[in-house]
Structure 1
Amino acid sequence: MNRSKRTLLALLGPLLLVLLGVPALQGTAAAAAPPAGQATRYTMTAFTNSSESNMYVYDSPDATGFTLRKGPAYSPPSGLIRDPSIFKHTDGFYYITYTTNWTGNTIGFARSTDRLNWTFLYNYTIPISGLTRTWAPEWFIDTDGSVNVIMSLTSASTATHFTAYKITATNSALTTWSAPTQLSGIGPNYIDTFIVKVGSTYHAFTKNETTKYIEYATSSSLTGPYTFRKTGNWAGFGDWVEGPALVPLDNGGWRIYYDGYSA
């Protein structure tokens, strides 16, 4: 895996983001225009090749043309802020979770009232013995309201044999978490798993780190078992791509972003 080539979305390396629709600016692009009387803002959080310890915040009215709102907007007290993932919680705060280092067993958390000014909360140690890398945490809010983080974990001595796990917040303050649960059917050697739920089906987009393709699987349960529906170059994304992130558009469609890190 080559994570050294990840860049900002503006530089055509969009892995480093998670987007969410929240009320704000008026959209104009037909593919993502909000219904009459409503407005949508899509938010991107990202880091750069030149600094893995600074986070930048962009937003867009149409999920296509992004504008820098603040950068750097946040730097953790120590370590890195790779793969920052953002969502707006029921308490009104925006929260990010992120990769704290290339090696180790922690993920980081920070929060904000306005997406631009952030306060470090804590680093959380994943309670699995022998972890060597804890990468790409992604928020997943289930339809029952539960707040989950999906992560790519490995105990290998090198950056291989990753598997997807989830932890679930056990309080509304997002300070205590359930024991990690592996997502059955995804792995070994899959990274950057991103999940959305439509109806009763969980849809997982995840990079096969052996073939370098983003593959697609579904399950009736968040923890699986997942069944792969599409493999190889099924969507024409090409190989040597990773970090899929999906966002629903106002017209009912979906948009996927990913990192073409060899391009």
Structure 2
Amino acid sequence: MRSLYLFLILLLSGITRAQTTDNGAYVFCYFKGNSADGLHLAYSTDGLKWQALKNDSSFLRPAVAKDRLMRDPCIIRGADGLFHMVWTVSWADKGIGYASSKDLITWSEQQFVPVMAKEEGARNSWAPEITYDAKSKQYMIYWATTIKGRFPAPDSTAEAGYNHRIYYTLTKDFKTYSDVKLLYEPGFNIIDATILPYGKKYLMFFKDETLKPVQKNIKIAYADKLTGPYKQDGGKITGDYWAEGPTALQKGKEWIVYFDKYRNHKYGAVSSSDLKTWTDISDQIQLPSGIRHGTIFKVTTAELERLKAVK
């Protein structure tokens, strides 16, 4: 028995070392069209050139909420080794979708999480994302919601009265969730937040949704704790076009932020080594045709090979 126990310990430690030393690849999860066909995946080994998996067909079709959509998918690898995904289920619903997977191929039963059910004036729950807090050993799920009359603004009637702020809930098991709280209130309309650890701080990329005077660009905010408070640092990092849905990856000292140039019907990217000076590298990237808002995460070489084998 003792020999078997020692063997298992050595085996598991070997797997852990392999995962940490395996450079693996990046995977981009995204949607296409109106998102009714569900989850799409593409991979890259350099973070610039991306190739669609499964002939750019769906890995998972949406099965929850009235509209059965799977927009804005966000996937992270959890502390439990599982891939956890959340997504937008509808244009006008008070909840989001959730599912998990061991391999990104076979998924758990989809759940509808009614995050804004207690807010009578909540109009939507858009672009949810997940970030893991290693200190508290819990996940923070956050998204954009407009609550009628909550944050009046001069331009709040310009786009069907939407005036979003970022809200969050905490969970350790994706079964029970904390009460929803306000995460970021910068004083203007904001959507599409994505948060990553940055040293001892947390880094948020977000879309300034202000229409008058027009912004529609990507900005940065920082916080000492995952749950905030967040404070904007600097101006926009994108150019003179409308951008949304930022997702970021870090290669050594270089940060690359991808975003949807949705009015131009194509993707763009900027890079920086100091998070202060940004260079447009949109002409260096290649992505599957029709790709829309999603997120980037890492997989091992073995995981990528299994994904590439799916037809």
> TM-score scaled to structure 1, two decimals?
0.78
Inter-partner Cα distance in structure 2 for 1:167 and 1:91:
19
Q: Tell me what 1:151 maps to.
A: 143
Secondary structure of residue in 2 paired with 1:230? coil
Q: Is the 8 A contact 2:248 2:257 kept in 1?
A: yes
* The structure with more strand, counted as a fraction of residues: 1
Return closer, same or farther for 1:63/1:224 CA change in 2, 3 Å cut-off: same
Corresponding position of 2:152:
none
For residues 168-221 of structure 1, give each alpha carbon's deviation from its aligned partner in whole angstroms, at most 9, with x where no partner exists. Answer: 10x3x3111111111244344100011122122222111111121111122223
* Contact 1:212–1:242, Cα closer than 8 Å, also in 2: yes
Letter in 1 for 2:141: V
Distance 1:147 1:166, change over 3 A: same
1:72 aligns with 2:58: yes
Structure-2 residue corresponding to 1:32:
none
The residue number in structure 2 matching 1:246 is 248
Correspondence for 1:29: none
Higher Rg of the two aligned structures:
2
Runs of 4 or more consecutive aligned structure 1 residues displaced over 4 Å after TM superposition = none
Partner of 2:12: none
How far does the alpha carbon of each residue in 1:35-76 deviate from its partner, in whole angstroms, 9 at most, with x for none? 9x6322111111101543421111222222222223210012
Higher relative contact order (CA 8 A, sep 6+): 2
Bigger shift: residues 96-105 or 236-245:
236-245
> Would the aligned equivalents of 1:240 and 1:261 in 2 still touch at CA under 8 Å?
yes
From 89, 94, 119, the equivalent of 1:129 is 119
SS at match of 2:109: strand
Identity across the alignment (%): 26
Do structure 1's residue 237 and structure 2's residue 239 form an aligned pair?
yes
C-alpha deviations, 1:111-152, integer Å up to 9, x for none? Answer: 222112323331000143121110000111123132111111
- Alignment partners' CA distance in 2, 1:136 and 1:44: 15
**What 5-or-longer segments of structure 2 have no aligned partner?**
1-17, 149-156, 265-311
1:160 to 146, 151, 162: 162
How many pairs were matched up?
Answer: 225
- Flag the 1:168–1:41 CA change in 2: closer, same or farther, 3 A: same
Give the conservation status (yes or no) of the 8 Å contact 2:144–2:165.
yes
Determine the C-alpha separation between the residues in 1 that align with 2:23 and 2:197.
Answer: 23
Is the Cα contact below 8 Å between 1:84 and 1:97 reproduced in 2?
A: yes
Supply the distance in 2 between the matched residues of 1:258 and 1:93 (Cα, whole angstroms): 26
1:91 partnered with 2:80:
yes
CA RMSD of aligned residues (A): 2.2
Mark the CA change 1:188 to 1:175 in structure 2 (over 3 Å): closer, same or farther: farther
CA distance in 2, matches of 1:190, 1:134: 13
Q: Structure 1: give runs of 5+ residues left out of the alignment.
A: 1-22, 25-34
Measured in 2, the distance between the counterparts of 1:185 and 1:154 equals: 12
Give SS of 1:114's match. coil
Counterpart secondary structure, 1:191: strand
Structure 2 residue identity aligned to 1:149: I
The answer on whether the counterparts of 2:217 and 2:238 sit within 8 Å (CA) in structure 1 is no
